[in-house]
Amino acid sequence: MKKIILFLLMLLVISPCQATCFFLCMSILPIRAQIDTLNIQHLKGVTVSGQYIQQAADHYNCIPTSKQRKHSHSGYELVRSMMIPGVDVDTESGKVSTPAGAATLYINGREATFREIQSLRTKDVVRVEYYDMPTGKYAKDLAVLNYVVKQFKSGGYTQLDALQGLGYKCGDYNITSKYSFGNSNANLWAGYSNANPKEDMVSKEDYLLPDAVAKGSSSSGNDKENIGKYITASISNMTPKRTWMLRASIEASKQWDNIMNGKTEYASEYGNLAFDKTQYSRSSTVKPTLYAYFQKQIGSNHNFDAVLDCYYADNKYNRDFLEGGRFVSDVDEDYFYGKFNANYSIALPKSNNLTFSLHEYMRVSQDSYGGSADYWQHLHSSETIFFVDYNKRWKKVMLDFNPGLSYLVYRLHGDDAVKHVAPRLQLSSSWMPDKLQRVRLFFSLGNTFPSLNTVNNVSQQIDRIMIRRGNPDMDNSTLLGPGFTYSLNYKQISAMLSCYYMYMSNAIVNTYSVEGGNIINTFSSDARSHQTSTSLSVTWKPSASFNVKMDGNFTYARVTMADEEQQRGWQMGLQANYYVRDFSFSASCKSLTRSLNNYQYHIRQPWQYGLSAEWSHNNLAVVLEAKNLFIQDNVLKRSLSAEIYNLSEQFRRERDNSYVSLKLICSIDYGKKVSRSLKYETKNADSTIMR
């Protein structure tokens, strides 16, 4: 076993700088071998005793320690502090990534929003279930985190939290109030946020027209302001046999993308043209939402749950661009989105389980384009997916068979309906030779469809040379790929080794062609994508007060046919947490990252590191966080190369350089202590506007 652990650690290659910092921390901090002890708990037939992560056939039962609960003030912070191997959490954006892809988040088996997870009272979280092999009602997801939270019968609380950024304009302020009476809960949320991390930009574009043109641009202090407001109310009821919830809200947001001090120069064999460049760009949304959830336990072996989630969005987009000429785009959009999901599960004899799942997604939009593109569009789309999931468990082996069928139809006004029928399939198996190890093999076959903001007949003049044009005739994409994971939990060490391959037919890429004196930028579904990744994540927990997590990842991406691209790159990460009484201290860093975005754009993200300190006592907490201290020259680079068009950009963004944030959390409990309310998330509305 020791040889296996040493081998896994050797696979995780860390830089000399990281190694030096790591061993320096080890020499300073007092460490004694210890495992957090837990009372024996029975979790769905799995007995957890002694270790904070216990493996099951299709998931991990992860129990947070008292220190992790005390010094975490959201569901995201809690999972980050727990350092689950293979799970990476961005607490600012609310993104949870795993080797299989983005994780879907649940609370007590109900799919939750980011804000709901962000506001969980961590002391009420019993455990976090990490499904890296989702089955049953979770089979539609790539990975799942389910927070199992205590329920209370009476009392209430009101909480205020405020985050203020220092270094650039950034603030997030929220108030939440909850009252529980019997099996019911009433909730009220309200919030306001405002951020403007300005950026400087330098770009070079080559237009390979019959008379080649090179364009150089620069700008500084560009506005990237984002304002959000929301108010939400909900009522819910939970009994051992039934749960329901109703929620309604009104949300509003505005985003600016302004260029105030820009310069542009066009160079050709006929001479140079220099212009001042300015841009006023604003998008806004007003969005009422409605959400309903119902779950019922039928007998001892049957369970039914259903979700209805819908909203209407009044979207507006305005762009006024000056660069030796004026290019204007004004779009008003009425957008409706509706999602319905129903699951019926049956527990069969001899550890067999059968689940039927129905998913319906409907989108209707009406867009009125003005400015340089005078166009009216009505689009209706509907996707229906039906799954059957069957899994069989033995003492050491589990098999899961999950076939499905997807039916997609969308129609632009004036065009014939486009229809796609595609099969879906997931095959998974896991083998646990002992309580410490697990091997998983799986294969998936799925499909996806073009983003609806590219499926149109709109043609917009972007600048003096570029015209962007939609393409309503693109094919459905098929995805397939195998995967392998090996996980180990041995004393103070937990590790996960993952290997994935994914092939996609009809990947959507940008294409460029010449039309007169212009470059036409449109979209094509004729590309093929191949992506391979190998990752190793290791957590070392020598004591309850000190935890370390190390991650290493290698990716290789290749695109063929409509475009020819390839990108390979390594990424390393290190995180360390130290707890002492009412204080906690954390340090983290991520190496330079190279990736291929949207199958074409080569992205180079700079090194990042962060430090944080927190004081937490009873219902009051203060968190001070610093990112990239003393760094002012971090630059994000983006490039694209095509036969007749090349792009190279550099962005110096304030959020990638040195800044500090201070957060205060204060709550008042009244009556008996209750589970903290699920804080509502203001989620961006979809849109079919081509920008």
Give φ, ψ of 354 to 5 degrees: -130, 130
Compute and round to an integer the Cα radius of gyration of the chain.
26
Task: Name the least confident of 123-137, 175-189, 450-464.
Answer: 450-464
Asked whether residue 679 carries a pLDDT value surpassing 90, the answer given is no
199: left (phi over 0), alpha (psi -120 to 50) or beta: beta
- For the ranges 187-201, 457-471, 489-503, 520-534, the lowest mean pLDDT is seen at 457-471
pLDDT reported for residue 544: 87
- Residue 568 CB-half CA count within 13 A: 4
Structure tokens belonging to residue 196: 């403007």
Is the per-residue pLDDT at 17 higher than 80?
Answer: no
| Distance (Å) of CA 622 to CA 604, 617, 619, 641 | 34, 9, 11, 47
Which H or E element spans position 16? helix 16-28
Residue 312: CB atoms within 10 Å: 16
Confidence of residue 670 (pLDDT cuts 50, 70, 90): confident
Q: Where are the beta strands (DSSP E) in 541-592?
A: 546-561, 565-580, 583-590
CB 490 within 8 A of CB 1: yes
**Single-letter residue type at 280:** Y
What's the pLDDT band for 414 if we cut at 50, 70, 90? Answer: confident
**DSSP-based three-state secondary structure for 269:** coil
Average pLDDT score over residue span 94-117: 87
User: Per residue in 12-30, is it b (16+ CB within 10 Å) or e — as a string?
Assistant: bebeeebeebeeebeeeee
629 contacts 608 by C-beta, under 8 angstroms: no
Residue 81: burial class (beta carbons within 10 Å; 0-12, 13-18, 19+): buried
Cα–Cα dist 171/194, whole Å: 5
Measure the CA–CA gap between 318 and 258, rounded to whole angstroms.
11
Give the separation between CA 561 and CA 529, rounded to whole angstroms: 9
- Alpha carbon of 555 to those of 284, 426, 487, 558, 570: distances in Å? 37, 23, 20, 10, 7
Is residue 127 pLDDT above 80, yes or no?
yes
Over residues 326-333, mean pLDDT: 91
Distance CA 684, CA 565 (A): 31
Q: Which residues, at least 6 apart from 26, have a Cβ–Cβ distance to it below 8 Å?
A: none
Looking from the CA of 345 toward its CB, the CA atoms found within 13 Å total 20
Token pair for 150: 């205590």
Rounded CA gap, 313 and 499, in Å?
40
- CB–CB of 480/446 below 8 Å? yes
pTM value is: 0.84
For tokens 């009406």, what's the residue? 366
- Take residue 524 and report the two structure tokens written for it: 């094509």
* Total residue count of the chain as it appears in this document: 691
Q: For strand 466-469 and strand 518-540, is the pairing parallel, antiparallel, or unpaired?
A: parallel
CA distance 478 to 15: 38
Backbone angles phi, psi at 496, to 5 degrees: -140, 125
pLDDT at 157: 84
Question: Does the pLDDT at position 27 exceed 70?
Answer: no
pLDDT of residue 475: 85
Single-letter amino acid code for the residue at 189: W
Half-sphere exposure of 205 (CA within 13 A, CB side): 14
Average the pLDDT over 121-137 and give the result. Answer: 89
Interval 198-209 mean pLDDT:
95
pLDDT for 13 equals 35
Q: What percent of the chain has pLDDT over 90?
A: 62
Instruction: At 126, give phi and psi (nearest 5°).
Output: -75, -45
**Residue 471 tokens, joined:** 């393409």
Q: Report the pLDDT value the prediction gives residue 546, as an integer from 0 to 100.
A: 94
pLDDT (0 to 100) of residue 456: 83
- Mean pLDDT, all residues of the chain: 86
The mean pLDDT of 315-343, rounded to a whole number, is: 93
Confidence class for position 688, pLDDT limits 50, 70, 90: low
Q: Exposure of 280 by Cβ count < 10 A (0-12 exposed, 13-18 middle, 19+ buried)?
A: middle
Residue identified by tokens 């391959």 is 501
Residue 2 confidence (pLDDT): 45
The reported pLDDT for the residue numbered 605 is 95
* Residue 395, pLDDT above cutoff 90: no
Q: Which two tokens stand for residue 484?
A: 């392998």
For the beta carbon of residue 643, count every other beta carbon within 10 angstroms. 11
Average pLDDT over residues 224-247: 93
E-only strand ranges, 132-241: 143-149, 154-166, 169-181, 184-196, 199-207, 213-222, 226-238
Q: Which segments within 606-687 are labelled E, that is strand? A: 608-617, 620-627, 636-641, 645-653, 659-670
Q: In the predicted model, is pLDDT for residue 107 greater than 80? A: yes
Going by their DSSP bridges, the two strands 466-469 and 459-461 should be labelled as: antiparallel
DSSP state of 325: S
Q: Where are the beta strands (DSSP E) in 95-168?
A: 95-98, 101-107, 110-111, 125-131, 143-149, 154-166
Q: What is the pLDDT of residue 316?
A: 96
**Percentage of the residues of the chain whose pLDDT score is greater than 70:** 90
458: nearest Cα among 267, 249, 687: 687
